Amino acid sequence: MAQPSRARPSRAAGHAEPRDGEEPALRLLHGGRGPLRLGLLENTLGFHLRLAQEASFAAFARRSGDSGLKPGHFAALVIIHNNPGLSQTALGAAIGRDKSTLTPKLAELERRGLLRRDRAHADRRSYALTLTPAGEAALAALTAHAAAHDAALDRLVGGENRAAFLDTLRRLVAGLDTDET
Amino acid sequence: MAQPSRARPSRAAGHAEPRDGEEPALRLLHGGRGPLRLGLLENTLGFHLRLAQEASFAAFARRSGDSGLKPGHFAALVIIHNNPGLSQTALGAAIGRDKSTLTPKLAELERRGLLRRDRAHADRRSYALTLTPAGEAALAALTAHAAAHDAALDRLVGGENRAAFLDTLRRLVAGLDTDET
DNA sequence: TGCAAATAGTTTGATCTCCTACGATCCCCC
DNA sequence: GGGGGATCGTAGGAGATCAAACTATTTGCA
């Protein structure tokens, strides 16, 4: 997947003289150098949600990168482990990826011997996905990275806020998924 | 910037009653909307953070889609508006996108007459970015969509939790940026 | 002053993702 | 039984993103 290599918001442009006054000082961005003015984005949930997710993703990628498996693979392995025999379409729905996106990924995991794709007896159009022992082992390795990663997130979120934060994320997913206003 | 039309976030948000050991019922995980067991992911911050961000992105894209400009364009316009004269590299750092990603996007915005790229007098390698009147107008239109979008997010988050939620996101961005552990 | 290193922006290549189209298969209902 | 329509997995096209390589320019240091 995407790779880290940070380049976080921060840094200034050589010039950037604010012009017509808007928000007060509203700069931000930690660490030194000249901060940019984020304007409206400064207080926008969506923008910060995106930055946080990308930072989390990059951090996990750094952590699990050496295992040769990426964040997306981890989610797939977990779901297959917990729902042996499921179809590719069901897996895609669970992890939020189109079935056509999974085709090459699953083919590669199969090639590497981490999972099996058996034609489902009940429905010969679909495959029944299951992890091989090697797949279970890979999952275990990734699980250790995932645990460390989430522990890092927990530290940043703060133990007492964790439940509320997670609940808020769930509400966003549930609320934005269907409706639209 | 952001991604393209990445429309469907796809449900997910399982629930899967904990239920003890195993014996996964795995009945009709396939065709049926039967919820899958998310296992470890069920309680993982990173996974839900990703789902929430994708849902938010998709919702904003739906909202502003008709304007012909995408979420990423909005962020770029806001930053340029608030920091006229900044360089492409500085813009990329602010919105979390590589400079090479911005090249075609900015070229298109320029072609559409929304911004100007003037060679910087002080450093002729870089461009000084500024919005044209048309760019300001486009920004105003997108701002309305953004406001509605964030209002929707606010409703889901809950007014009393908003500040804490935003603060948590900021801590994640700041903490994961440099942190390695 | 002069040249090496650093930096801005572009180009190219590799991923990842979605959507649409398509063949194979299943399912409902006449 | 037999079809029409829905669904599964795959293939191909389009867009977004990053990293590395490359050019032009600036800066640092001897």
pLDDT in tens, B33-87: 456 888 888 889 999 999 999 999 989 888 876 677 887 889 999 999 999 999 9
Instruction: Report the Cα B34 to chain-centroid distance in Å.
Output: 30
Confidence at residue A47, expressed as pLDDT on a 0 to 100 scale: 93
Chain A neighbors of B158, CB-CB under 8 A: 168, 171
The tens digit of pLDDT for each residue in A44-55 reads 999 999 999 999
Mean pLDDT in residue range A123-148: 93
Nucleotide in closest CA–C1' contact with A99: D9
Q: Looking at residue B82, what is its pLDDT?
A: 95
Task: Kindly report the average pLDDT of chain B as a whole number.
Answer: 80
The whole-chain average pLDDT of chain A stands at 80
Lowest-confidence region among A43-52, A59-68, B133-142: A59-68
Q: Is the pLDDT of residue B136 over 50?
A: yes
Domain range B45-58+68-178, its CATH number among 1.10.150.130, 1.20.1250.20, 1.10.10.10, 3.60.21.10: 1.10.10.10
As a whole number, mean pLDDT of residues B118-136 equals: 94
- pLDDT tens for each residue of A54-63: 999 989 888 8
Task: Report whether pLDDT(B12) > 80.
Answer: no
State percent of chain A over pLDDT 70. Answer: 77
Other CB atoms within a 10 A radius of the CB of residue A157 amount to: 22
User: Which has more pLDDT, A64 or A136?
Assistant: A136
B123 touches chain A (CB under 8 A): yes
pLDDT of residue B9: 37
What residues of B are in contact with residue A163 (Cβ under 8 Å)?
none
Please determine, for residue B149, whether its predicted confidence score (pLDDT) is greater than 70: yes
Q: Where are the domains of chain B?
A: 45-58+68-178
Q: Which two tokens stand for residue B85?
A: 């004269």
- pLDDT tier for residue A17 given thresholds of 50, 70 and 90: very low
Quote the pTM value.
Answer: 0.81
Which band of pLDDT confidence, cut at 50, 70 and 90, is reported for residue A70? Answer: confident
Q: State the pLDDT confidence band at A65, using cuts at 50, 70 and 90.
A: low
Q: Is A149 in CB contact (< 8 Å) with chain B? A: yes
Average pLDDT over residues A165-171: 95
Å separating the CA of residue B104 from the C1' of nucleotide D22: 17
pLDDT band at A102 (very low <50, low <70, confident <90, very high): very high
Q: Coil, strand, or helix at residue A128?
A: strand
Distance (Å, whole) CA B98 – CA B49: 22
pLDDT at A10 exceeding the cut of 90: no
Sequence-distant (≥ 6) Cβ neighbours of residue B7 within 8 angstroms: B58, B61, B62
Average pLDDT over residues B140-168: 92
Average pLDDT over residues A68-89: 91
Q: Which residue has the higher pLDDT, A18 or A159?
A: A159
End-to-end CA distance of chain B: 28
Contact A85 B26 (CB under 8 A): yes
Q: Please, which residues 88-117 of chain B have a Cβ atom closer than 8 Å to chain A?
A: 90-96, 98
The one-letter code for the residue type at B70 is K
Q: Where are the beta strands (DSSP E) in A56-145?
A: 115-119, 127-131
- In angstroms, the Cα distances linking B25 to A87, A128, A140 are 15, 15, 23
What CATH fold (topology level) applies to the domain A68-177? Arc Repressor Mutant, subunit A (1.10.10)
More confident residue, A121 or B90: B90
pLDDT tens per residue across span B97-123:
999 999 999 999 999 999 999 999 889
